[in-house]
Structure 1
């Protein structure tokens, strides 16, 4: 959370959050924070590179190996958990492979395991919840535990290992469309949840086709796919098509209001706030990740979201709030209610709102200006209006 609030590379952090939701790995099972933090670091390094690299890295990631039990995937006792989720939730989606493909995929990843590397060889490796203690999970390939026999996967036959399987996956048209739909859901408009993708068509099939085509043309290079997405009309014209995730809401409000420039107890509270709204970072509820869209909103979470955002603009000493107040005063924006509302909406986004919302904001500003008369308290009026703006329906959407 601290990194997202203070980063000078917001797209890098947002993509790390995106991949964290796709390759969902949770602390509740791992009980090992260092491993999850390393996984997020990997998303920062590889998130805009080739999708193949990302799949190889996640298959070798100790947190994922533990999370989906590939440490228990042995030549003579195959565990299909990782192999199944690699196909179902990480790359292709239901309906694009068979149960035989799942089994053959799982055989290819036997021997891909992890080891404990203690900081001091004299110490005995054992499980530990210390974030920087003696336990240091590392990927390990055990050739003697790998099934090196012939396998048939998605119509191809050979003595495949894990990287061969990933090569075949990345060649599938289904993979290009699956990644494209994930990106569309995260950056453009809410879709149904992933398990329903095999039954419910995309909101915008042409947009998915455009992204998938770029994916294929550039061999899964995510930077190229993102460039296509951000320059596309379907992205530029999207408005209020997504409900902000709790993390997006928290980070956006805090970045706008300012503060939290140095790690502090209050930064921990920010992470907890996102959890109160339904998105506990580093601990998604299942391998499916979080259910997005309208799933973020219920009576309890909506009140928490509005109260949190409003509280960020209650402190005029915060640098972002102070900057907005000073700008409003310099522009003489309190000369009229309409101008005050327009300037504040511009500074808060720019944020477009419906006529109904705008009229309510103007009416409140008019009442405030009439109440204060000639002695207009610019700071108080601006703060009031900012708190109302972040409480609007439009502010909850992206």
Structure 2
């Protein structure tokens, strides 16, 4: 596979940035990615959703006092907002010239998990997503402090139920186990005492805040230090621990390059991450620029986002409804804003189960034949509205319309596959024969059949 295409897929969601990486060089491309702007304004689809505790209480009272039909309608509106939020984010992923910020936002989205299903307040989920986007290339410690003190997170991990007379350990546990240190690098006493330090941290207007009558003011011992610690103090202490850089560097390597990074790489980049005081931008720069020259294609199974957006880019699909795309991702097990649990999507081999692989091949057939990515005439959205998805869509494949069957096969191989062998070559030369005429009326259809065959191979599922 062309190296610039490979890294376009890794630093984004398709081969769309391949030419930019080739022309600019990786370092310049990264700098422009780090400086990329993003919309800070709240999207209009949230205009009528509750944004403050007062508005939320008013909406709850409205639901409580309404009849069944009105309640159903109010809930339907909020589910519609959730679908719009998914489509809004997917649109950003597809259209940004420098998609690394959204790729990193999606990484943090799967690290600091917080879902529609549990939080139930769409504006808080949007705030959570914006915190991840704003701090995507910032400081890991700063980001951890902001997320732990977000309304979405205190709701998702039940810290609203963590009070001085009734301790709930969920947020305290996941802060250590999944967000920062990893299993084996803390004690149960650290979890219990951390929960006391987090007691009373509950819902606020713009972010979570401590309520005096719910706080626990006991002196606690946390990782060997004794005092009356609260959320930010506790996170400062966590980031003094020896194991702090390695969980996140392992996850970053897995997200971008290797499904199974070596411990040597994890340690090497983790030590550097500590050295730069947990700044994310220099860590990413070091990882990408040092791994770029290596022969490491074929080290990671594509997640559903990369798979489908690469196909759409190759086929020049423009009019696919992002809501339908979100529905497809849900089928593939990558439902945005609704991970299966606090651990998020596991990735790796789970992206290539027999069911997922079959769905991918079905989608390949549909798109290559100019049809939407569902065999069903309609899909029923979560808001109970239906949408006709069986219409034709325009697709076109770019290929050099000259040369021989072998040069065309080589061109597609270079764009699509990390490796090939003699058997595959023979198969493709059977599909696109030696006397193939690129000027013939049927040439586009013949090359599309070849393309469809290539994207169904195991080699296409891997980058």
TM-score, normalising length: structure 2 = 0.71
C-alpha deviations, 1:164-212, integer Å up to 9, x for none? Answer: 1111112222120111111121112214xxxxxxxxxxx4122111210
CA distance change for structure 1 residues 374 and 104 in 2, over 3 Å: closer, same or farther? closer
- The answer to whether the 8 Å contact 2:298/2:418 transfers is no
SS in 2 for 1:328: coil
Q: Does 1:366 align with 2:433?
A: yes
Q: CA-atom RMSD, angstroms?
A: 2.5
Tell me the CA shift for residue 235 of structure 1.
7.7
CA distance change for structure 1 residues 51 and 150 in 2, over 3 Å: closer, same or farther? same
Q: Does 1:328 align with 2:417?
A: no
Q: Which consecutive residues of structure 1, in runs of 5 or more, have no partner in the other structure? A: 118-136, 192-202
Residue 241 of structure 1 is matched in structure 2 by: 299
Q: Distance in 1 between matches of 2:305 and 2:440?
A: 39
Equivalent of 1:184 in 222, 241, 253? 253
C-alpha deviations, 1:147-173, integer Å up to 9, x for none? Answer: 233221111222211101111112222
**Number of residue pairs the alignment of both structures matches:** 354
Residue 305 of structure 1 is matched in structure 2 by: 360
Tell me the CA shift for residue 282 of structure 1.
0.9
Q: Which consecutive residues of structure 2, in runs of 5 or more, have no partner in the other structure? A: 1-89, 372-391
Residue 149 of structure 2 is matched in structure 1 by: 60
Q: How does 1:83-122 map to 2 (within 5 A)?
A: 83-115=172-204
Residue 257 of structure 1 is matched in structure 2 by: 315
Q: Does 1:292 align with 2:347?
A: yes
Q: Does 1:394 align with 2:449?
A: no
Equivalent of 1:274 in 317, 329, 347? 329
CA distance change for structure 1 residues 215 and 343 in 2, over 3 Å: closer, same or farther? same
CA distance change for structure 1 residues 358 and 3 in 2, over 3 Å: closer, same or farther? farther
C-alpha deviations, 1:35-54, integer Å up to 9, x for none? Answer: 22322221111121110111
- The answer to whether the 8 Å contact 2:302/2:461 transfers is yes
- The answer to whether the 8 Å contact 2:297/2:418 transfers is no
Residue 221 of structure 1 is matched in structure 2 by: 279
Q: Distance in 1 between matches of 2:199 and 2:149?
A: 12
Tell me the CA shift for residue 310 of structure 1.
4.2
Residue 37 of structure 2 is matched in structure 1 by: none
Instruction: List structure 1 runs of 4+ shifted beyond 4 angstroms.
Output: 316-319
Q: Does 1:160 align with 2:224?
A: no
C-alpha deviations, 1:122-164, integer Å up to 9, x for none? Answer: xxxxxxxxxxxxxxx7423323422233221111222211101
TM-score, normalising length: structure 1 = 0.82
SS in 2 for 1:157: strand
- The answer to whether the 8 Å contact 1:243/1:294 transfers is yes
